[in-house]
Structure 1
Amino acid sequence: MVSAGELRAHLVAARVAGRVATSREESLRRYGLFAARDPRVTLGLEPEGEWGAAELLRLMADRCGVSADPRETSGEDVIDPDCTVAALDAFAERLGRAAHDRIPVLLGTGHPHRLLGFYASLAAALSAAGCVVLTPSYVRGVDIPTEFGVRRHILRYVAGVAVARPAEGGGPLTPESAPGAHTHSPLPVRAALAGAAEQGGVLPGLVVGDHGFICGAGQLGFEAIGLGDSDDPAVFVAEAEGRISVAVPLDDTVRSDYYRPLTRYVLNRAWLSQ
């Protein structure tokens, strides 16, 4: 069992929190883009507040532990590991209630090459506890804007976790190969929810994921919990405005195996250890 102290030490050593790879320049740039309502960083959220750059900086300092000083404009960004541990506790508590109540859950990630293993472990534990892990199909494809133009993607599930896969992609769908695109778009979760509705199927009582998956779900009125980096203000604005129940601040680009202690910690705290 991973204790809170051991987890905190791991977060800092692996740079999941503490000093992280995300640069201060990139974080501030994205706060400015969010303030301008750039859809590349709003992640499907339509914020109710004004959320100017200065207000966003204060919010991110409170929720993530980044420096609140606007004069600090360069260097490595910082995520307070105590914020991460506290948010993981709340995340685990919500998962535990979902398992206890056996509500249907939809999981999805825009970071399959880093975070798929984390979500796949949660999906397996929730399923074993009696929750329905939803995998609604959507056959028409999803046209997602990318830096190379609009590209068609197909919604696919790997170990119970939704990913957006390039339509021309091939190969087996396994957690080891982590197929799928890195995307912050809300379109994949909208497609999954549309697929469930069109098929007359069950809709989720909880959505678990990151970025567009949780912001997009929260915007549509579904309860959502998940992860966000220090340069993803939309996730924490969504939490502040009540669209997301729990937002966990962490670096989402470290090696996938560095998230395993977080997985064990969450499953233990949620009484979902297998």
Structure 2
Amino acid sequence: MLSTGALRAHLLAAGLAGPVATAREASLRSYRLFAARDPRALIGLDPEGAWGQRELLALMSDRCGVSADPGRTSGHDVIDPERTLAALLAFAERLAAVAQRGAPLLLGTGHPHRLLGFYAALADALSAAGCTVLTPAQGHCVDITTRFGLRTYNLDYVRGVALVREPDAGRPGREPGAHTHSPLPVRTVLAAAAEAGGPLPELVIGDHGWVCGAGQLGFEAIGLADTDDPALFVGEAEGTVSVVVPLDDAVRSHYYGPLTRYVLNRACLSQ
């Protein structure tokens, strides 16, 4: 069993917490966009409060451990590993609760290159515990506005985890899915589930728009977020999102393995 101390050491060694690769400039830019209610930063959330840049910086300092000094405008951001550990425990508690009920759930990621393995392991364990891992809207098209213009993606599932692919992604050598912050995929999936007469998820697990989009629609949602993803933490502060784990969401995929084992063990879902 991975101890809390061992996981803390891993978080720091892997760059998941402590000084992270996310640039301070990128985080501050996201806070500016969110304060301006730019959809690229809201990623499906419709915040109730008036979140200015100073309020966002104070929130992110409280939830992640980033510097609260607005004068610090360059370098790398910092995530407090103690905050990550505390959030992982809360994350595990939510998994344990849905597993005890055998509740239906949905998993989705906008970071399939990095986080697919993490979510797939959760899906496997929750399915083994009696939960129904939902996979509605397989193959449906989703039009997403990107910096390259409007792009059409296809919804797909890998080991029970939803993601979007470019239409030609079936070619050999292509990555397993596209990176996206959009809430449109989760809206499409939830609408398809409702139109089919259910079941609907009692919990949505993921990141980016999968969490904010689901939470805004009234579904319980938990997930992972980096220092440049203020929407999830605002959602948590306002009660739209249940749990957010602060960590670098773009390190090598195998670095998330110890987190998977830790969470499943704490949730009594180890296989």
Normalising by the smaller structure, the TM-score range is over 0.9
Please tell me whether the aligned partners of residues 115 and 256 of structure 1 are also in contact (alpha carbons under 8 angstroms). Answer: yes
Residue 166 of structure 1, CA deviation: 1.1
Among candidates 181, 185, 190, match of residue 187 of structure 2? 190
Which amino acid in the other structure matches residue 120 of structure 1? A
Which deviations, in whole Å up to 9, do the C-alpha atoms of 1:153-178 show, x marking residues without a partner? 11100000000111232148xxx976
Match of residue 157 from structure 2: 157
Tell whether 2:42 aligns with 1:42.
yes
Residue 140 of structure 1, CA deviation: 4.3
Which amino acid in the other structure matches residue 21 of structure 1? A
Which amino acid in the other structure matches residue 69 of structure 2? D
Please tell me whether the aligned partners of residues 154 and 167 of structure 2 are also in contact (alpha carbons under 8 angstroms). Answer: yes
Corresponding residue SS for 2:156:
strand
Corresponding residue SS for 2:264:
helix
Match of residue 55 from structure 1: 55
Which deviations, in whole Å up to 9, do the C-alpha atoms of 1:173-230 show, x marking residues without a partner? xxx9761110000000001101111111210000000010000000000000000000
Tell whether 2:199 aligns with 1:199.
no
4+ residue segments displaced more than 3 Å = none
Match of residue 77 from structure 1: 77
Which amino acid in the other structure matches residue 75 of structure 2? G
Match of residue 136 from structure 1: 136
Alpha-carbon distance between aligned partners in 2 of 1:117 and 1:177, rounded to the nearest angstrom = 17
Corresponding residue SS for 1:96:
helix
Query: What is the count of residue pairs matched by the alignment?
Result: 271
Match of residue 228 from structure 1: 225
**Cα RMSD, aligned residues only:** 1.3
Sequence identity of aligned pairs in percent?
Answer: 70
| Structure 1, unpaired ranges of 5+ | none
Alpha-carbon distance between aligned partners in 1 of 2:92 and 2:171, rounded to the nearest angstrom = 34
Alpha-carbon distance between aligned partners in 2 of 1:29 and 1:178, rounded to the nearest angstrom = 28
Corresponding residue SS for 1:207:
strand
| Structure 2, unpaired ranges of 5+ | none
Tell whether 2:97 aligns with 1:97.
yes
Residue 138 of structure 1, CA deviation: 5.1
Alpha-carbon distance between aligned partners in 1 of 2:140 and 2:161, rounded to the nearest angstrom = 19
Range with bigger deviation, 114-123 or 130-139: 130-139
Please tell me whether the aligned partners of residues 116 and 178 of structure 1 are also in contact (alpha carbons under 8 angstroms). Answer: no
Alpha-carbon distance between aligned partners in 2 of 1:37 and 1:203, rounded to the nearest angstrom = 29
Q: What TM-score do you get using the length of structure 1 for normalisation?
A: 0.97
Range with bigger deviation, 263-272 or 196-205: 196-205
Q: What TM-score do you get using the length of structure 2 for normalisation?
A: 0.98
Match of residue 166 from structure 1: 166
